[in-house]
């Protein structure tokens, strides 16, 4: 078993040790007799850093726990200099202090926060997760209000501000039973490591924590969401809280600048703009409807009747498919014997074939079938019903000729 130096001192960033084993393979790793590197466990993620022997240096990219109690230090394969790190070699370990401090702030912040939820509302933490940019706890509760979240955040920050001592104690499982721990692990080990935040929280935990709650800095609660096992509360502590707030502020400032508004008025301005967009969209739809009706009337008036039919053939260069569909609808409803063969070349080359409702005109064609034939010659896709069909093609080339061919066939 590896002697875990971080059990006794979370602020130990460098240490001496001896190589016990070198694990070869796609992910080479070192096993030492003792280590201050924290391996991922209990929700807290691993430390990174370096292990050196003289001039040789291995960059440690991940640290993990083996079932037999050994800690393995994975290193960059390209750093491998096996002669320098044979079993028995004396080495020096260096832990990335910024990453470790961040983890201590998040993890200790979690203890303070979980205890706040218990003390205020008897809400118990069932799991803890530490991600790269935020952390979360899952609370065993069917409901969680905004007020509860704010109260817990406030109380947790009070405890941080009081700068309470955080002690590490080792007790037997029996002793632990009498202490009234917030959380007792299921592990079969008899000796338990207790993190004791003075007069606030007692938890069995193997993680790295601060010495005084003041070192957590502060805690900021963010998103809450309902999850299978209760409610998830996301939080950030210490420097992470500051960098998160900085990022939030930048996003909010950018948004507010778009509206030339103060950041606190940004949501109101956004809501106002959305209302305007909705209203303009409605007006636009109405205008297009009117335009289509007027255009349909004009087209019908200028189209001569041949063999009892008015065949309107028209290619537009700047209309959306929806508009030519609308126009086709108007044409075939304003007249009982109209056939509309319409196309648009941009933004998306498309065709619409329509005829006045079959029942009225007496001799009806099959627009769906005609369109499919045309698509076959133009190399596009489309289809529809007997009275209305639409399709899209890759380019506008050949559209006019195709429409003329269909018109000739129907005349
Ligand atoms: Zn802990």
**365-404: per-residue pLDDT in tens?**
899 999 999 999 999 999 999 999 999 999 989 999 999 9
Q: What is the mean pLDDT of residues 253-258?
A: 96
Most confident region among 22-36, 138-152, 299-313, 357-371 by mean pLDDT:
138-152
- Please tell me the distance between residue 331's alpha carbon and the centre of ligand 1 in angstroms: 74
Average pLDDT of every residue of the chain: 93
How many helical (H) and strand (E) elements, i.e. helices and strands, does the chain have? 9, 20
CA atoms within 13 A on the CB side of 181: 21
Q: What is the pLDDT of residue 362?
A: 55
Sign of the alpha-carbon dihedral angle for 358, 359, 364, 365: positive
Q: Which one, of 327, 318, 323, lies nearest residue 296 by Cα?
A: 327
Q: What is the mean pLDDT of residues 103-130?
A: 96
Q: What is the mean pLDDT of residues 73-97?
A: 87
Q: What is the mean pLDDT of residues 75-97?
A: 87
- Please tell me the distance between residue 26's alpha carbon and the centre of ligand 1 in angstroms: 32
Q: Over 90: is that where the pLDDT of 102 sits? A: yes
Helical (H) or strand (E) element with 154: helix 146-161
**pLDDT classification of 331: cutoffs 50, 70, 90:** very high
**pLDDT classification of 116: cutoffs 50, 70, 90:** very high
Length of the chain: 411
**pLDDT classification of 411: cutoffs 50, 70, 90:** confident
Q: Which one, of 21, 128, 14, lies nearest residue 70 by Cα?
A: 21
Q: What is the mean pLDDT of residues 134-154?
A: 97
Q: What percent of the chain has pLDDT over 70?
A: 97
| 411/403 Cα distance (integer angstroms) | 12
- Please tell me the distance between residue 110's alpha carbon and the centre of ligand 1 in angstroms: 8
| 32/245 Cα distance (integer angstroms) | 40
Which residues face 75 on adjacent strands? 60
- Please tell me the distance between residue 74's alpha carbon and the centre of ligand 1 in angstroms: 24
Q: What is the pLDDT of residue 84?
A: 81
Strands 29-32, 34-35: pairing is: unpaired
- Please tell me the distance between residue 108's alpha carbon and the centre of ligand 1 in angstroms: 6
Instruction: Identify whether the C-beta of residue 198 lies closer than 8 Å to the C-beta of residue 162.
Output: no
Q: What is the pLDDT of residue 167?
A: 96
Which residues face 314 on adjacent strands? 342
| 93/291 Cα distance (integer angstroms) | 77
Q: What percent of the chain has pLDDT over 90?
A: 79
- Please tell me the distance between residue 107's alpha carbon and the centre of ligand 1 in angstroms: 6
- Please tell me the distance between residue 210's alpha carbon and the centre of ligand 1 in angstroms: 10
| 258/272 Cα distance (integer angstroms) | 13
Q: What is the pLDDT of residue 360?
A: 56
Name the DSSP letter for residue 348: S
**pLDDT classification of 187: cutoffs 50, 70, 90:** low
Q: What is the mean pLDDT of residues 244-250?
A: 96
Sign of the alpha-carbon dihedral angle for 155, 157, 158, 164: positive
Q: What is the pLDDT of residue 299?
A: 96
| 208/187 Cα distance (integer angstroms) | 18
- Please tell me the distance between residue 209's alpha carbon and the centre of ligand 1 in angstroms: 6
Rounded to the nearest 5°, which phi and psi values hold at 251? Answer: -65, -40
**pLDDT classification of 24: cutoffs 50, 70, 90:** confident
Q: What is the pLDDT of residue 174?
A: 84
In the numeric block, which tokens belong to residue 330?
């108007």
- Please tell me the distance between residue 167's alpha carbon and the centre of ligand 1 in angstroms: 11
Q: What is the pLDDT of residue 188?
A: 66
Q: What is the pLDDT of residue 216?
A: 98
- Please tell me the distance between residue 43's alpha carbon and the centre of ligand 1 in angstroms: 9
Helical (H) or strand (E) element with 179: helix 173-179
Give whole-number Cα distances, 95 to 36, 211, 259, 264, in Å: 8, 18, 46, 42
**pLDDT classification of 182: cutoffs 50, 70, 90:** confident
**pLDDT classification of 359: cutoffs 50, 70, 90:** low
Q: Is 178 helix (H, G, I), strand (E, B) or coil?
A: helix
Q: The whole model's pTM is what?
A: 0.78
- Please tell me the distance between residue 208's alpha carbon and the centre of ligand 1 in angstroms: 7
- Please tell me the distance between residue 370's alpha carbon and the centre of ligand 1 in angstroms: 72
Q: What is the pLDDT of residue 77?
A: 78
């Amino acid at each position: 078993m590896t002697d875990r130096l971080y059990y006794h001192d979370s602020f130990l960033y460098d240490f001496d040790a001896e190589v016990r084993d070198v694990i070869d393979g796609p992910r080479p790793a070192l096993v030492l007799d003792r280590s201050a590197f924290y391996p991922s466990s209990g929700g807290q993620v691993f430390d990174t850093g370096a292990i050196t022997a003289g001039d040789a240096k291995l960059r440690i990219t991940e640290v993990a726990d083996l079932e037999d109690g050994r800690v393995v230090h994975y290193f960059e394969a390209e750093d491998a200099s096996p002669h320098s790190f044979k079993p028995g070699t004396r080495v020096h370990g260096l832990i990335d202090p910024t990453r470790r401090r961040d983890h201590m702030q998040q993890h200790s912040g979690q203890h303070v926060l979980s205890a706040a939820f218990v003390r205020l509302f008897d809400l118990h933490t069932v799991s803890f997760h530490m991600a790269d940019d935020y952390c979360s706890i899952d609370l065993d509760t069917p409901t969680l209000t905004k007020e509860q979240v704010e109260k817990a955040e406030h109380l947790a920050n009070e405890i941080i501000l009081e700068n309470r001592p955080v002690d590490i104690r080792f007790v037997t499982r029996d002793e632990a039973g009498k202490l009234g721990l917030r959380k007792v692990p299921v592990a079969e080990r008899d000796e338990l490591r207790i993190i004791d935040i003075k007069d606030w929280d007692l938890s069995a935990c193997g993680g790295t924590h601060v010495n005084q709650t003041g070192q957590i800095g502060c805690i900021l609660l963010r998103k809450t969401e309902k999850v299978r096992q209760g409610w998830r509360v996301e939080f950030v502590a210490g420097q992470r809280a500051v960098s998160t707030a900085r990022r939030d502020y930048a996003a909010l400032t950018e948004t507010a600048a778009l509206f030339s508004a103060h950041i606190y008025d940004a949501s109101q301005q956004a809501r106002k703009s959305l209302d305007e967009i909705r209203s303009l969209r409605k007006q636009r739809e109405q205008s297009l409807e009117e335009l289509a009706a007027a255009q349909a009337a004009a087209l019908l008036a200028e189209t001569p009747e041949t063999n009892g039919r008015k065949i309107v053939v028209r290619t537009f260069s700047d209309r959306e498919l929806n508009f030519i569909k609308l126009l086709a609808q108007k044409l075939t409803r304003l007249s009982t014997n109209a056939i509309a063969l319409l196309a648009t070349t941009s933004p998306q080359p498309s065709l619409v074939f329509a005829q006045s409702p079959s029942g009225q005109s007496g001799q009806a064609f099959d627009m769906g079938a005609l369109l499919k034939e045309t698509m076959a010659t133009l190399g596009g896709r489309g289809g529809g019903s007997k009275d209305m069909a639409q399709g899209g093609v890759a380019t506008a080339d050949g559209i006019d000729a195709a429409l003329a061919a269909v018109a000739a066939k129907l005349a």
